[in-house]
């Protein structure tokens, strides 16, 4: 099959790389950070603002969209793009992580997973085939296979079982995608698992890389393990994932995790951290995170970041943002959301420029030294 990824440059100082994803709704430069839009909207920001910032790939969530508004509504609209008015690319996860996090509300078998809705308690079933069908209705430009995400420190035999089922489900997802043919023009990504056992990580990376997926996700990371374990397992696993396809680590959003991923040749990552922190009055700068509720900002007549061109930094002061957040005004969260997403968009441009100039390793060190100089807080 023709690949969707073009590698443009390999950094001379590490495994970081520049590339382009060729997707149905336009090309995407990598490495790329993707905002999360669980219910067909990135919380607290207009789609027009996302376009203005420059995002052309956002996430949706299969589990949540399946429950509300449901596939019948999405079918009537011709998919999520039309339903939510977003004319650029959408990646949807399989919904597996949400299902597996339900703990007592689900039952996993080799056929799939039965779960209770967190909304009304009704029972539903996700099979690998059904998850592909749902994402076909959504119209995902990138869709994820159903997998079993496991928590740290489970017994080895349980990790083996989860990995083997994940591999079997990956094959079934591929078969269903093939059956759908032109009904589903999007791209289906496989997911490596293996918990935190290196032999299983290696096996899963090689098995999934050998399948006919246009992209590979490294799953089972950022699920509660220590930062040191995250770095070790990320570096170990990535060496066994084919370099010919885009690599994706799900659910990482802090600057240190993102830069660790880029250094190891990861092309894609997403997180709710930026928007969630914004709604709680915390914004990112090169000198650490600013907690806007702190009294010290009450009379500061300067922007959050004079180098940022978001609405918040161009038109408002730290003092005004402090006021909005203290008063629980909706505008405060919206402005903070735009700032955080604009900040990470600009950070990724700087990352790509550093890779282009073969100086990413030094960029990472300098950036993190400054960001965490005061414990990551300003």
pLDDT digits (tens, 9 = 90+) for 13-48: 999 999 999 999 999 999 999 999 999 999 999 999
* 76: pLDDT strictly greater than 70: yes
C-alpha 299: how far from chain center: 36
Using alpha carbons only, give the angle 157, 146, 172 rounded to the nearest 5 degrees.
90
Structure token pair of residue 373: 């100089």
CA–CA separation, 73 vs 79, rounded Å?
Answer: 9
Choosing from 93, 141, 260, 305, which is the catalytic residue? 93
Name all contacts of 166-172 with Cβ < 8 Å and 24+ positions apart: 166/191, 166/193, 166/204, 167/204, 167/207, 167/208, 168/110, 169/112, 169/128, 169/145, 170/128, 170/145, 170/208, 170/211, 170/213, 171/211, 172/127, 172/128, 172/129
Q: Residue 199 catalytic?
A: no
Q: What is the pLDDT of residues 297-318, one digit of tens each?
A: 999 999 999 999 999 999 999 9
CA–CA separation, 240 vs 202, rounded Å?
Answer: 6
Identify the pLDDT of residue 10: 97
Structure token pair of residue 218: 């490294």
Structure token pair of residue 287: 């000198």
**pTM score, two decimals?**
0.96
Residues counted in the chain: 378
Q: Residue 93 catalytic?
A: yes
Listed in sequence order, the residues at least 6 apart from 63 whose beta carbon sits closer than 8 Å to its beta carbon are 95, 96, 98, 99, 126
* 104: pLDDT strictly greater than 80: no
CA–CA separation, 111 vs 210, rounded Å?
Answer: 23
Residue matched to tokens 């959301």: 337
Of 49-63, 103-117, 118-132, 354-368, least confident by mean pLDDT is 103-117
Choosing from 11, 133, 267, 270, which is the catalytic residue? 270
């Amino acid at each position: 099959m023709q690949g969707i990824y073009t590698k443009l440059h390999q950094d001379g100082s590490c495994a970081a790389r520049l590339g382009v994803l060729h997707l149905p709704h336009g090309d995407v430069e990598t490495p790329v950070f993707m905002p999360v839009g669980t219910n067909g909207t990135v919380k607290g920001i207009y789609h027009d603002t996302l376009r203005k910032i420059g995002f052309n790939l956002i996430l949706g969530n299969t589990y949540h969209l399946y429950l509300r508004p449901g596939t019948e509504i999405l079918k009537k609209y011709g998919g999520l793009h039309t339903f939510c008015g977003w004319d650029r690319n959408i990646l949807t996860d399989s919904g597996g992580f949400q299902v597996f996090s339900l703990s007592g509300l689900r039952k996993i078998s080799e056929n799939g997973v039965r779960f209770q809705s967190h909304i009304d308690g009704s029972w539903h079933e996700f099979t690998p085939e059904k998850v592909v069908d749902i994402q076909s209705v959504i119209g995902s430009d990138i869709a994820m296979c159903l997998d079993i995400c496991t928590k740290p420190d489970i017994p080895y035999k349980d990790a083996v079982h989860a990995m083997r089922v994940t591999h079997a489900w990956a094959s079934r997802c591929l078969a269903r995608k093939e059956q759908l043919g032109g009904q589903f023009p999007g791209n289906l990504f496989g997911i490596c698992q293996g918990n935190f056992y290196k032999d299983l990580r290696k096996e899963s990376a090689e098995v999934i890389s050998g399948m006919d997926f246009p992209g590979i996700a490294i799953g089972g990371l950022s699920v509660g393990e220590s930062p040191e374990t995250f770095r070790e397992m990320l570096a170990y696993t990535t060496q066994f994932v084919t370099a010919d396809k885009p690599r994706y680590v799900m659910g990482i959003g802090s600057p240190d995790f993102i830069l660790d991923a880029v250094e190891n040749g990861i092309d894609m990552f997403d997180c709710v951290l930026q928007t969630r922190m914004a709604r709680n009055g915390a914004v990112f700068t090169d000198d650490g995170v600013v907690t806007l509720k702190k009294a010290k900002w009450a009379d500061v007549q300067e922007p959050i970041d004079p180098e940022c061109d978001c609405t918040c930094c161009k038109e408002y002061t730290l003092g005004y943002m402090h006021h909005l957040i203290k008063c629980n005004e909706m505008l405060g969260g919206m402005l903070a959301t735009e700032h955080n997403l604009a900040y990470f968009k600009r950070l990724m441009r700087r990352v790509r420029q550093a890779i282009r100039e073969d100086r990413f390793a030094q960029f990472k060190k300098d950036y993190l030294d400054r960001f965490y100089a005061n414990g990551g807080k300003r």
